[in-house]
């Protein structure tokens, strides 16, 4: 009988110790004040694998692009059509020397087709203009509207090798570039680069 009582007492002590251990596991850590809320764990994995599409909209920063408007109208040469390389015969001449090559002939037709509604603006912006000259293997002519330099200006670059045009137009405070060839852009000759660089915002 005494052995049964001892066994029962030992079992009771073991249960008491077990219950005490369970209560200790529920107690708050010594470093945390009683009743303090514990923040939820940060979902590190989700943040690391998030794609740009999943990023919060507020974090997307769009850099303003002072970009020049780009217009590309590909030219398809017709059978028997005169190429722009024929303009080499006009090199050194101003548009007012005899035939106005900006209003008559192959260049005029190509300018009209490429610039469309901006053609008349282009002509006005080339009222005060230099001669047709060769720079960096390109034929080029550029100028501005009378008494409106820096506000209304334009430049025409002709690539004889590719039979292509690239035109820069500054009007109403905006810049437009027209191109009629596919592939790499026709390079601006050095004077055209300087002219366009003058329009970049300071700072």
In whole angstroms, what is the distance from residue 110 CA to residue 113 CA?
5
Cα dihedral 165/170/175/177 (nearest 10): 0
> Which pLDDT score, from 0 to 100, does residue 201 have?
64
Give 70-96 pLDDT, tens digit per residue: 999 999 999 999 999 999 999 999 999
Inside any domain, residue 165: yes
Dihedral sign, CA of 104, 105, 108, 109?
positive
**Least reliable range by pLDDT among 26-30, 122-126, 148-152:** 26-30
DSSP secondary structure string for all residues of 85-142: GGGGGGTT--TTSSS-TTTSSHHHHHHHHHHGGGHHHHHHTTSEE---EEETTEEEEE
**Number of domains comprising the chain:** 1
Inside any domain, residue 134: yes
Percentage with pLDDT > 70 across the chain = 65
**Least reliable range by pLDDT among 6-20, 83-97, 139-153:** 6-20
Inside any domain, residue 43: no
Mean predicted confidence (pLDDT) in 105-128: 97
Whole domain around residue 164: which residue ranges? 69-197
Inside any domain, residue 127: yes
- Residue with the bigger pLDDT between 68 and 56: it is 68
Please work out, in degrees rounded to the nearest 5, the angle formed at the alpha carbon of residue 63 by the alpha carbons of 49 and 176.
135
In whole angstroms, what is the distance from residue 71 CA to residue 5 CA?
101
Inside any domain, residue 32: no
Inside any domain, residue 79: yes
Inside any domain, residue 28: no
Inside any domain, residue 120: yes
The neighbour count for residue 11, using CB atoms within 10 Å, is: 10
């Amino acid at each position: 009988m005494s052995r049964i009582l001892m066994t029962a007492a030992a079992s009771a002590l073991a249960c008491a110790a077990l219950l005490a251990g369970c209560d200790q596991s529920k107690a708050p850590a010594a470093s945390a004040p009683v009743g303090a809320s514990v923040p939820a764990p940060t979902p590190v994995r989700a943040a690391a694998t998030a794609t740009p599409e999943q990023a919060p909209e507020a974090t997307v920063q769009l850099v303003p692009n002072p970009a020049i408007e780009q217009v590309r109208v590909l030219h398809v040469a017709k059978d028997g059509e005169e190429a722009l390389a024929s303009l080499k015969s006009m090199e050194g001449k101003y548009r007012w020397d005899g035939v106005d090559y900006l209003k008559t002939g192959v260049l005029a037709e190509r300018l009209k087709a490429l610039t469309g509604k901006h053609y008349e603006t282009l002509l006005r912006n080339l009222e005060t203009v230099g001669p047709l000259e060769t720079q960096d293997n390109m034929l080029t002519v550029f100028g501005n509207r009378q008494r409106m330099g820096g506000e209304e200006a334009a430049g025409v670059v002709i690539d004889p090798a590719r039979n292509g045009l690239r035109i820069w137009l500054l009007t109403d405070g905006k810049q437009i570039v027209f191109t009629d060839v596919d592939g790499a852009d026709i390079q601006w000759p050095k004077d055209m680069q300087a002219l366009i660089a003058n329009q970049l915002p300071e700072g």
